[in-house]
Amino acid sequence: MMTVTSLNTKIKSLLEATFMHIMVEGEVAQVTYASSGHLYFTLKDDRSALKCVMWKSSAAKLKFALTKGEHVVIEGSIGVYTPRGEYQCITTHVEPYGQGALAVAFEQLKTKLKTKGYFDAHNKKELPRYPSKLVLVTAVGSAALQDMLKVAQKRWSAVEITVIDVLVQGERAAGEIAGAIAYADGLGVDMIVIGRGGGSAEDLWAFNEESVADAIYAATTPVISAVGHEVDTLISDFVADLRAPTPSAAMEMILPDGNELCYMLDERSTQFDRRMAQVLSQKSQQIQGLHAELSRFSLSNRLEALQRQFVGLASDFGQTMQYRVAQFSAMPLPLSARLDDTMRLILRKASQELESTHSRFSLANPQKQSREAWAQLNRGGRKIALDEIETGEVFDLVTDRIKAHVKMLEKKAIRG
C-alpha cells in the first residue's frame, strides 16, 4: 500500500519522464497575466482542458498577446505539483495555429497603434525642403549606412550628418533604436532617419516593436523610416512622418539635388537680370519724360525769363536816359539846370518804380511765398483758385515741403 505523497511522486516521475517535450493544439479558454510576469492560461478542445503556465523568462519572448478564443499550438513539457496532485503544461513557446507568431503580433500591434492615432495623417510632421542637419540611426559599418552617405554626398554635400550607432536586430535592438531616436530628438536637427538593409522578418522585427513606435510618435523632429526593401512593410513605416522603400531611397527623397538646384538658380538669375533691365529701362524713360515736363512748367524757368525781360527793360531805360541827358547837356545853362532838376525827378521816380517792381517781383517768387506762409491749392493734382472751391469740398494745400489734405468748412466773400 502507498501513501498519497508516494503515489503523486511516482506519477510526477512517470509523467515528467514520459512527456518531456510535447506540442499540443487547442483553443485558449482563460488567460491571466500575473504581476510577477508569469502567464497562466487554459488550453481546451471540445471535450477536455489542459492547464498551462508560461514562466516569466519564456513569456517575455512571446511576440504577440495571448487572447481568449485564439487557436494556438503550444510547445513544452508536463509538470506535476505533488502537494495537490495537479499536473500542467510548462509552456516554452506558443505559435498561432496556421500562421506565424510574428504575423499575429504585427497585426495586433498595428491595430492597437492605429486606434491610438499613431498613423493619422494630421499627426505627420512636415519635412524641411533644404535640410542642413540630419541624424542617421543605424549600424555603423553597415552597407545601408555607406549607401546613405554616398547618396547624401552626391546630392546635397552641404548637409551635416550625425550617425548614432545602434543594434538593428536582436533582443536589445528595439531598446537601442528607441533610445537613439529620443536622444537625436534633442539635438536640434532637421530630420531623423532610422534604417537598415533587408533581411528576414525576424531580422527586421526590432522596427515592429511598440517601444520604437512610441519613440517615433513622441519625437518633435520629423522621422523617416528606411528599413529593408520595398516589399517590407513595418510598424515604423506607418508611424514615421515618411516611409522610404530603402535607405538610399530615403536620402534621395529628403535631400535636394544640388546640381539641379544650381541649374534652377542660374535660370532664375538670368530671368531676374532680364526683368530688372526691362524695369530699369522703363523707369528711366518715365523719369526723362517727367524731367522734360517739369522743365517746361518749372517756376524757376519762368522766373528766369521774367528776370531776363526785366534786365532788358532796365538796359533799354538806361540807354534812353543817357541819350536824353546828352541831348539836354548841349542846351543853355538855365534850361540845362531845369532839365537837370527834371531828370533827377524822373530818375528818382524811375528808381522808386524800379524798387517797387523789384519788391513785387520778390513777392511773386513762390520760394519766398512758401517761406511766408504761401501755399498752392490743388484738386486732383491740378492747380486751382480759391474761388473754385465749394463749401464741404476736399482739396490739397501744397508748399515746397508740405502737402495737407483739407476740407472747406465755410466760405465767405470779403468786401473791400
DSSP character string of 13-39: HHHHHH-SSEEEEEEEEEEEE-TTS-E
According to CATH, the topology of domain 124-256 is Rossmann fold (3.40.50)
Given this model, what pLDDT does residue 214 score? 97
Given this model, what pLDDT does residue 58 score? 92
Q: What are phi and psi of 298, to 5 degrees?
A: -70, 135
Mean pLDDT of 387-403: 85
> How many other CB atoms are there within 10 angstroms of residue 366's CB atom?
16
List the grid coordinates of 18: 514520459
Confirm whether 4-98 and 124-256 share one CATH topology: no
Query: Can you name the residues that pair with 195 across neighbouring β-strands?
Result: 226
Which of 336, 343, 340, 300 minimizes the C-alpha distance to 320? 343
pLDDT band at 322 (very low <50, low <70, confident <90, very high): confident
Instruction: Note the Cα 159 to chain centre separation in Å.
Output: 18
Q: Nearest-5° angle of CA 9, CA 10, CA 12?
A: 65
Mean pLDDT of 196-205: 90
Element (H, E) at 337: helix 333-364
List the grid coordinates of 218: 513622441
User: Residue by residue, what is the 3-state secondary structure of 257-280?
Assistant: CHHHHHHHHHHHHHHHHHHHHHHH
List the grid coordinates of 307: 528776370
Q: Are strands 71-81 and 39-44 parallel, antiparallel or unpaired?
A: unpaired
Find the range with the poorest average confidence among 165-169, 196-200, 355-359.
355-359
Q: Are strands 22-33 and 39-44 parallel, antiparallel or unpaired?
A: antiparallel
Given this model, what pLDDT does residue 52 score? 95
Instruction: Note the Cα 230 to chain centre separation in Å.
Output: 30
- The sign of the CA dihedral 255, 260, 266, 267 is negative
Q: Which comes out higher in pLDDT, residue 380 or 212? A: 212
Q: Are strands 191-196 and 133-138 parallel, antiparallel or unpaired?
A: parallel
Find the range with the poorest average confidence among 131-140, 279-288, 300-309, 328-337.
328-337
Whether the pLDDT of residue 296 is over 80: the answer is: no
Which of 55, 53, 47, 93 minimizes the C-alpha distance to 73? 93
Find the range with the poorest average confidence among 68-77, 197-206, 317-326.
317-326
> How many other CB atoms are there within 10 angstroms of residue 174's CB atom?
23
Asked if residues 55 and 40 have their Cβ atoms less than 8 Å apart, the reply is no
pLDDT band at 347 (very low <50, low <70, confident <90, very high): confident
Strands (E), 212-265: 223-227, 242-243
Asked if residues 102 and 111 have their Cβ atoms less than 8 Å apart, the reply is no
Domain locations in the chain as residue ranges = 4-98, 124-256, 299-370, 375-407
Given this model, what pLDDT does residue 224 score? 97
Q: Are strands 382-383 and 242-243 parallel, antiparallel or unpaired?
A: unpaired
Asked if residues 398 and 382 have their Cβ atoms less than 8 Å apart, the reply is no
pLDDT band at 334 (very low <50, low <70, confident <90, very high): low
User: How far, in Å, CA of 316 to CA of 182, rounded?
Assistant: 100
pLDDT in tens, 405-415: 888 888 887 77
Mean pLDDT of 18-24: 89
User: How far, in Å, CA of 86 to CA of 80, rounded?
Assistant: 6
Q: Nearest-5° angle of CA 216, CA 199, CA 201?
A: 70
Mean pLDDT of 175-198: 96
Whether the pLDDT of residue 370 is over 70: the answer is: no
Whether the pLDDT of residue 261 is over 80: the answer is: no
Share above pLDDT 70 across residues of the chain, in percent, rounded to a whole number: 91
Asked if residues 361 and 310 have their Cβ atoms less than 8 Å apart, the reply is yes
What is the pTM (predicted TM-score) of this model?
0.53
Find the range with the poorest average confidence among 2-16, 162-176, 284-298.
284-298
119 contact partners, CB below 8 Å, separation of at least 6: 113, 238, 239
pLDDT band at 348 (very low <50, low <70, confident <90, very high): confident
User: What is the dotted CATH code of the domain comprising 4-98?
Assistant: 2.40.50.140
Element (H, E) at 193: strand 191-196
Mean pLDDT of 158-186: 95
Mean pLDDT of 275-297: 84
pLDDT band at 169 (very low <50, low <70, confident <90, very high): very high
